[in-house]
Structure 1
């Protein structure tokens, strides 16, 4: 498991939930694999209780299956839930880029350009999970610039199924297009063209459909039939 430092304000349950969720999205905890409360607790330096609570919380969003008397299992990927997650992002993020087409500052534009340059660096150095983090960072910044961070937090809590497929896509597809997409989306915002920005965001968030066959070929055991 990948474990980052616990923040000062995190409870033990929040720390466990965040860490387990991150490892599910990054495929460190693979779909279909069994997980042990005691093993995770030992890795995180926690008691079993907050780990159990975290797994139950993740079970509510269908990322984890609680197996009575047997432990817990990372859920297989259900494409209907992926589609619902993508739908949520599509509606909200198209609205955000159209809102930003009302105008952003030169400083904000430069900040987004810098984020794209970092993404290009990690594409060249073939670090897909770092690229996923930077992709998320770019989208989070769009919400921040639109002063819609509560909306972002709500969306982010509901799109983990889509994020798992995005993670697989970045690990599988050699011709990664997300950085090019970000460049075009930012240019449409700069040009104050809401229709173009919406079309580009729709294309960007629909790429997993194009990649689905490649993903299923590499990870056939990770999906529900």
Structure 2
């Protein structure tokens, strides 16, 4: 029954993406703007509002129960953040995913996370190894049960375990910023097949760390992130309407 309910909700959102927006309350313009921005940001990142979709300001106003001012202010903030763009005499649309930006963020992640696991292989403690094993077991369960959201969260947690273990807060902060910028693209690629591949790639990284093989761990992480780039390229040829070079 749960699967039917999820499918029904997804179909409704596809038919009316504004259903993802909540009604908001607030007496001050600033607080309303923040609430509208947060709701629109979530709808864009979660793909309720797909890349390239034109945003109907009136529909947002009616759905959220606000005037045009907080909606316009929120969209201006989202434009500054690169999530929407204003098209002269056409309106505002959700920004397509820019492949050039994706490559830059994955370059940053590769440079930092490859070195993270290389160093970690020489110094990883048993508590971190046990935590990685527990995470992988939960990932397997999520893959077997087709739990996409749960797998997404476990994927994030796997990388966070590695970054926490190396204990370099600035590195973790930079990687987190790049991961956030990739979130829409990663959600677009979410599929049972991609999750199964990710699980296998994570397992190879953890196995190399447990074996204290820094070069193998670095190679496994590099291959893992390279596969994300390759799959995005394949996906962008299938859905060019969602991407921009």
Scaled by the length of structure 1, what TM-score is found? 0.78
Q: Confirm or deny: 8 A CA contact 1:172 1:214 kept in the other structure.
A: no
**Matched residues in 2 for 1:47 and 1:142: separation?**
45
1:195-214 equivalences in 2 (<5 Å): 195-212=215-232, 214=234
Asked if 1:60 corresponds to 2:80, the answer is: yes
**Matched residues in 1 for 2:195 and 2:203: separation?**
16
Asked if 1:29 corresponds to 2:45, the answer is: no
Scaled by the length of structure 2, what TM-score is found? 0.72
Cα distance, 1:20–1:110 mapped onto 2, change above 3 Å: farther
Q: CA RMSD in A?
A: 3.2
Residue in structure 1 matching 2:140, options 117, 120, 123 = 120
Cα distance, 1:101–1:222 mapped onto 2, change above 3 Å: same
Q: Confirm or deny: 8 A CA contact 1:172 1:218 kept in the other structure.
A: no
1:108 equivalent in structure 2: 128
**Matched residues in 1 for 2:94 and 2:33: separation?**
18
1:129 equivalent in structure 2: 149
**Matched residues in 1 for 2:167 and 2:102: separation?**
27
Q: Confirm or deny: 8 A CA contact 1:83 1:162 kept in the other structure.
A: no
Unaligned runs of 5+ in 2: 1-19, 23-30
Report which of the two has the higher share of helix: 2
Asked if 1:139 corresponds to 2:159, the answer is: yes
1:56-205 equivalences in 2 (<5 Å): 56-67=76-87, 72-171=92-191, 173=193, 176-205=196-225
Q: Confirm or deny: 8 A CA contact 1:103 1:189 kept in the other structure.
A: no
Unaligned runs of 5+ in 1: 4-10
Q: Deviations over 1:7-29 (max 9, x none)?
A: xxxx8777765654444333222
Cα distance, 1:87–1:213 mapped onto 2, change above 3 Å: closer
2:11 equivalent in structure 1: none
Higher Cα Rg: structure 1 or 2?
2
**Matched residues in 2 for 1:16 and 1:153: separation?**
26
Cα distance, 1:94–1:122 mapped onto 2, change above 3 Å: same
Q: Confirm or deny: 8 A CA contact 1:94 1:201 kept in the other structure.
A: yes
Query: Higher RCO, 1 or 2 (CA under 8 Å, sep at least 6)?
Result: 1
Shift of 1:159: 4.0
Q: Which deviates the most, 211-220 or 184-193?
A: 211-220
